Structure 1
């Protein structure tokens, strides 16, 4: 009898150790694969009370719930991977120049401010006015006749190039110093004088990811701008 008791006790301890190891393994992985779930469900069906079988709809509900959770986990993993790749690609923009809708930009030493505006109709009297950071007018540049469509310009602090042509005007001897400037472009379109919207270049200082998952570019002299607001990568 003592031998049988010892054997039973030993078997009980072994079973307990086996159960403990399985529990630890489950805690470590912290997930149930689809194959394991199906195996568990089939075992549950095989061992159910034949006089009181479990409703099939309950099994279907369990499987649907499992599939839903598994799908969400996969979606989260895919989204996190997508955001990591996007952030990595966007980080390559740091130090580059992009164009966004703005009337202000920063002139750096030896650099230029690139910009553009859109005309619905041809204009004969386009004029650009440039103000310093204190709001003082430093240059008034008559551009003259411009066709409908996009007009692009480049300003180096002294001279203005419009649609690839350097304007012949009295720029003066003193070039503008580095700093932030405001650009105002006016033109008469279809008999109506207007102040036009402008897009200006700015350097990307850093890239962050917003709470909504969107990539945010922190632009010199402009501030935080969502990446999808960028009109052109220069």
Structure 2
């Protein structure tokens, strides 16, 4: 009987007359095979062959390594206990699954890149327009320009929410209280006048919101009118560059004014 290794055909060794074979050969299973012995060179051949397998991380490289290992396993299997057909089929199904996942990953990566590019192109049309975006400061043009749209978001319902607008000197020029508000986004229009009905001078303004629900503070986020000055493509996707505010994603622009 002969065993085939990865590097060629190797026959059962025959000991020279008077030679001690116990130093070169190892019993595989004395109980089940009746003292069948195998040379240590057999496993060395498998080791050397697998060391030369392509180390690419692609699906093709993975399949190549798998098939070579499977062939090596089948060639060097125990002749008294060969692999079952179901076991071979199962291993082939596994490598097929790996290739399918690799192909799906490539498709998803291409789809994500395409979607990001489309979002950036669509956002270009927003340049020069005003949007309501997260922030505190905004530029007030004066009451003669019409109402100024403002907004805020609440993380939970609130029994009261006071909106304050202060000028560059920190003086509150407008204050308004809303009641019984649900969680989510809310908007209001400011006519540019103070509590006495006098026009407020144009300039940089700061908006703040104090929300309470039965005297318990409710977290809020102010939304102010800012102009989109540009669109930047970043590693996380398209970002809108704003005047007097930090860049935001297109999804954070709550309203185009």
CA contact (8 A) 1:97 1:202 kept: yes
Matched, 1:170 2:203: no
CA contact (8 A) 1:106 1:113 kept: no
CA contact (8 A) 2:227 2:243 kept: yes
CA distance in 1, matches of 2:174, 2:101: 64
Q: Name the structure 1 match of 2:232.
A: 208
Deviates more, 1:190-199 or 1:96-105: 190-199
Q: How far apart are 1:203 and its partner, in Å?
A: 1.1
Task: Render the CA deviation track for 1:175-195: whole Å, top value 9, x for unaligned.
Answer: 324xx3212456898679999
Q: Match for 2:150 among 115, 132, 150?
A: 115
In structure 2, do the counterparts of structure 1 residues 57 and 189 end up closer, same or farther at CA, with 3 Å as the change threshold? closer
CA distance in 2, matches of 1:194, 1:60: 55
CA contact (8 A) 2:160 2:211 kept: no
Task: Render the CA deviation track for 1:155-188: whole Å, top value 9, x for unaligned.
Answer: 5xx536xxxxxx761337xx324xx321245689
CA contact (8 A) 1:131 1:183 kept: no
Task: Render the CA deviation track for 1:116-171: whole Å, top value 9, x for unaligned.
Answer: 24783368xx6744222xxx14562354x65544450235xx536xxxxxx76133
Task: Render the CA deviation track for 1:45-70: whole Å, top value 9, x for unaligned.
Answer: 9xxx9x99994445334433322222
CA distance in 2, matches of 1:67, 1:192: 53
Note the residue ranges of structure 1 that are not aligned, 5 or more in a row: 1-30, 161-166
In structure 2, do the counterparts of structure 1 residues 185 and 169 end up closer, same or farther at CA, with 3 Å as the change threshold? farther
Q: Match for 1:81 among 111, 114, 121?
A: 114
Aligned-residue CA RMSD (Å): 4.5
Q: How far apart are 1:115 and its partner, in Å?
A: 0.5
In structure 2, do the counterparts of structure 1 residues 58 and 96 end up closer, same or farther at CA, with 3 Å as the change threshold? same
Q: Name the structure 2 match of 1:7.
A: none
Higher RCO structure (Cα 8 Å, ≥6 apart): 1
CA distance in 2, matches of 1:104, 1:115: 11
Q: What aligned pairs does 1:194-233 form with structure 2 within 5 A after superposition?
A: 198-211=222-235, 213-233=236-256
In structure 2, do the counterparts of structure 1 residues 131 and 194 end up closer, same or farther at CA, with 3 Å as the change threshold? farther
Matched, 1:182 2:206: yes
In structure 2, do the counterparts of structure 1 residues 217 and 96 end up closer, same or farther at CA, with 3 Å as the change threshold? same
Indicate the SS of the match to 1:170.
Answer: coil
TM-score by length of structure 1 reads: 0.53
| Structure of higher CA gyration radius | 2
CA distance in 1, matches of 2:149, 2:210: 17
Deviates more, 1:145-154 or 1:213-222: 145-154
